[in-house]
């Protein structure tokens, strides 16, 4: 098997603290995992806030260098990506999707600018018609069309649509991997579903691997192939989604699992009442 993405004992430390009380924070500790190039999958990272999910994602995207350990994308060390050309090349294979669809687009820029810019730069297209065609194709994948998007601003579209456009944009260069950091945490339940469904489609039809970062265990369960659970920078549990989430073994995973409230008033209120009594 050839690896798409390999993380080997990746660590990241931050210096934090104020004027006099500085200390080192180990944001990510000894993280290792591998994604297979041949077998696209949805690889989910879950964990409480501050557990190092975003930091890991940023390292994969090359926005952050690890304190130690190596990250390799298609055999090449991400840290070795230096020149602008290499960087563009890397970005054409690895693309991000951000948490807040309203934040990810500058409200003062038309949305198509992002799409066109991506097409021009990564596909090297000069011709207007070719750019339009490539853009439209990508939008079709997410169930939209260029006609609907052209000349519009982010506030003119719903969060779900924006997130789809973000995905479409990420698809334009024909990436192998999409890193989605909490792509649904800001939207309501219905929209959530439309986006995670889209991920599933991409994996199946375009063969794109997706690293899906979330603290929503329910959607994680819903779409993931594999899951890792992070806690204070450590990966505490990893494996197939049904196993890790359906039947967690690590203490923290179990706590997390049990904290998930089901959308059922009877069970949910009982859990809270239980909790109340415990205090």
Ligand X SMILES: Nc1ncnc2c1ncn2[C@@H]1O[C@H](COP(=O)(O)OP(=O)(O)OP(=O)(O)O)[C@@H](O)[C@H]1O
Q: Which residue has the tokens 């415990």?
A: 278
Asked if residue 63 lies in contact with residue 90, where contact means CB atoms within 8 angstroms, the answer is no
- Is residue 54 close enough to count as binding Mg ion by CB under 5 A? yes
What residue 25 binds from other proteins, Mg ion, ligand X, none (CB within 5 to 8 A, per partner kind)?
ligand X
Query: Which is closer to Mg ion, CB of 58 or CB of 164?
Result: 58
Identify the residue among 50, 62, 174, 239 touching ligand X (CB under 6 A). Answer: 50
**Using CB under 6 A, which of 169, 215, 231, 257 touches ligand X?**
215
Instruction: Tell the burial category of 57 from Cβ atoms under 10 Å away from its Cβ (0-12, 13-18, 19+).
Output: buried
Binding status of residue 53 toward ligand X by CB under 6 A: yes
- Tokens 């203490």, residue located: 251
Contact partner at residue 68 from other proteins, Mg ion, ligand X, none, CB < 5 to 8 Å by partner kind? none
CB of 1 to other proteins, least distance (A): 26
239 binds, among other proteins, ligand X, Mg ion, none (CB under 5 to 8 A by kind): none
How many angstroms separate the CA atoms of 117 and 145, rounded? 17
Residue 121 contacts by C-beta under 8 Å, 6 or more apart in sequence? 88
Give min distance, CB of 35 to ligand X, in A.
19
Q: According to the binding rule CB under 6 A, does residue 66 interact with ligand X? A: no
C-alpha closest to that of 52 among 180, 233, 214: 233
Instruction: Identify which of residues 141 and 231 has a Cβ nearer to ligand X in the complex.
Output: 231
The answer to whether 135 contacts ligand X (rule: CB under 6 A) is no
Q: Which of 9/262 has CB closer to other proteins?
A: 262
Residue with Cβ nearer ligand X (125 or 182) = 182
8 Å CB contact between 30 and 234: yes
Detail the DSSP E strand segments found in the chain. 3-17, 22-36, 42-47, 68-73, 76-77, 94-97, 177-181, 209-214, 226-231, 234-240
76 binds, among Mg ion, other proteins, ligand X, none (CB under 5 to 8 A by kind): none
Taking each helix axis from N to C end, the angle separating 111-123 and 159-171, rounded to the nearest 10 degrees, works out to 10
Residue from 9, 16, 153, 273 in contact with ligand X (CB under 6 A)? 16
Instruction: Please give the residue ranges that form the binding site for ligand X (CB under 6 A).
Output: 14, 16, 25, 27, 47, 49-55, 215
Binding site for Mg ion (CB under 5 A): 54
């Amino acid at each position: 098997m050839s690896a798409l993405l390999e993380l080997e004992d990746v660590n990241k430390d931050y210096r934090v603290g104020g004027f006099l009380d500085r200390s080192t924070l180990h944001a990510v500790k000894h993280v290792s995992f591998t994604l297979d190039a041949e077998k696209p999958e949805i690889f989910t990272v879950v964990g409480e806030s501050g557990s190092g999910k975003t930091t890991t994602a940023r390292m994969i995207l090359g926005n952050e260098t690890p304190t130690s350990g190596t990250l390799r994308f298609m055999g090449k060390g991400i840290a070795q990506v230096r020149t602008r050309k290499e960087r563009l090349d890397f970005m054409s294979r690895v693309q991000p999707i951000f948490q807040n669809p309203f934040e990810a687009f500058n409200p003062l820029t038309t949305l198509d600018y992002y799409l066109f810019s991506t097409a021009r730069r990564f596909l090297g297209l000069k011709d207007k018609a070719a750019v339009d065609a490539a853009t439209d194709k990508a939008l079709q994948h997410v169930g939209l069309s260029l006609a609907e998007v052209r000349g519009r601003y982010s506030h003119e579209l719903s969060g779900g649509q924006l997130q789809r456009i973000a995905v479409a944009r990420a698809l334009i260069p024909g990436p192998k991997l999409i890193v989605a950091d909490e792509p649904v945490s800001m939207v309501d339940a219905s929209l959530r579903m439309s986006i995670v469904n889209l991920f599933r489609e991409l994996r199946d039809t375009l063969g794109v691997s997706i690293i899906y970062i979330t603290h929503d265990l329910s959607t994680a369960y819903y779409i993931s192939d594999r899951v890792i659970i992070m806690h204070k920078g450590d990966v505490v549990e990893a494996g197939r989604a049904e196993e890790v989430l359906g039947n967690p073994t690590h203490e923290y995973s179990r706590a997390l699992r049990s904290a998930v409230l089901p959308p059922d008033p009877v069970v949910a209120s009982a859990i809270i009442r239980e909790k109340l009594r415990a205090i």
